[in-house]
């Protein structure tokens, strides 16, 4: 299970998600994707965090995730024939892109990944041709991801005949799954985790 971190890097919350996945039988691994750009976990303010993330090319993320899968395979502890990817915030966007990049994945799950970040090559641009089923969660009160963007990607998924699914929690904002943030909403977090684990099992992960 590839776990793609938030914009804040591989901090304790992301490590905890890996620990939650392990008892379910998953080999969960979260690579530090900003290793070349800077340590987002130690950035003093959000502008520096954004600057680190902006310096990370999408193509390099794809290559790094490929390398992480290769590492997992070489460990002989992971069944990469049944691999999946999940991600949060900045990582939720990368989930969509990696699902398009690596059609051998069994499934993908994205929590509140931005749908417009670079202006090109964003999730709506790849949604119509997806071969990997993506389950994505968004908050109805998310000021970073407006409803029209969600409707746009829904339409593209439908036009492409994808079995991917989007769930919106009306009373949740951005970061509703992150229990260390003020936006955390327990009901939405628990509901989305249940939906995610069911989705993964449904698709043979």
Which residues have C-beta within 8 Å of that of residue 49, sequence separation ≥ 6?
Answer: 7, 8, 40, 43
Query: Of 142, 171, 179, 203, which is the active-site residue?
Result: 142
What confidence score (pLDDT) does residue 103 get? 97
Q: Looking at the predicted structure, is the pLDDT value of residue 198 above 90? A: yes
Stretch 163-171: mean pLDDT: 98
The mean per-residue pLDDT over the stretch 26-37 comes to: 98
- pLDDT, one tens digit per residue, over 96-135 is 999 999 999 999 999 999 999 987 799 999 999 999 999 9
Residue 12 above 90 pLDDT? yes
Per-residue pLDDT, averaged over 180-193, amounts to 97
Choosing from 64, 101, 122, 174, which is the catalytic residue? Answer: 174
Alpha carbon distance 26, 41 (integer Å): 25
Look at residue 120 in the predicted model and tell me its pLDDT.
79
Q: Please confirm, yes or no, whether 18 is among the known catalytic residues.
A: no
The domain locations on the chain are 2-202
* Residue that is written with structure tokens 């699914």 in the block: 165
Q: For position 44, what pLDDT does the model report?
A: 85
User: What share of the chain has pLDDT > 90, as a percent?
Assistant: 98
69-72: long-range pairs with CB below 8 Å, 24+ = 69/2, 69/102, 71/29, 72/27, 72/29
CB neighbours of 180 closer than 8 A, spacing ≥ 6? 12, 13
Record the pTM.
0.97
pLDDT of 119 reads: 78
Mind listing the pLDDT tens digit for each residue in 146-155? 999 999 999 9
53, pLDDT greater than 90: yes
What would the mean pLDDT of 135-164 be, rounded to a whole number?
96
Contact 193, 184 (CB under 8 A): no
Query: Could you confirm whether 89 is annotated as catalytic?
Result: yes
Choice among 5, 89, 101, 122 that is catalytic: 89
Q: Give catalytic status of residue 13 as yes or no.
A: no
Indicate the fold that domain 2-202 takes in CATH: Rossmann fold (3.40.50)
């Amino acid at each position: 299970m590839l776990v793609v971190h938030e914009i804040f890097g591989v901090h304790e919350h992301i490590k905890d998600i890996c620990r939650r996945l392990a008892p379910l039988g998953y080999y969960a691994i979260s690579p530090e994707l900003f290793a070349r750009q800077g340590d987002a976990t130690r950035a003093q303010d959000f502008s520096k965090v954004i600057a680190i993330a902006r310096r990370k090319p999408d193509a390099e993320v794809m290559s790094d995730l490929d390398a992480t899968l290769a590492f997992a395979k070489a460990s002989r502890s992971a069944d990469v024939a049944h691999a999946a990817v999940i991600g949060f915030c900045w990582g939720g966007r990368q989930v969509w892109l990696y699902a398009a990049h690596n059609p051998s994945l069994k499934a993908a799950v994205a929590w509140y990944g931005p749908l417009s970040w670079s202006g090109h090559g964003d999730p709506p641009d790849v949604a119509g041709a997806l071969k990997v089923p993506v389950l994505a969660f968004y908050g109805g009160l998310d000021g970073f991801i407006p409803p029209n963007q969600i409707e746009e990607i829904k339409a593209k998924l439908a036009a492409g005949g994808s079995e991917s699914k989007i769930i919106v929690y009306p009373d949740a904002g951005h970061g509703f799954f992150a229990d260390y943030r003020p936006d955390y909403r327990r009901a939405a977090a628990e509901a989305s985790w249940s939906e995610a684990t069911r989705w993964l099992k449904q698709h043979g992960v």
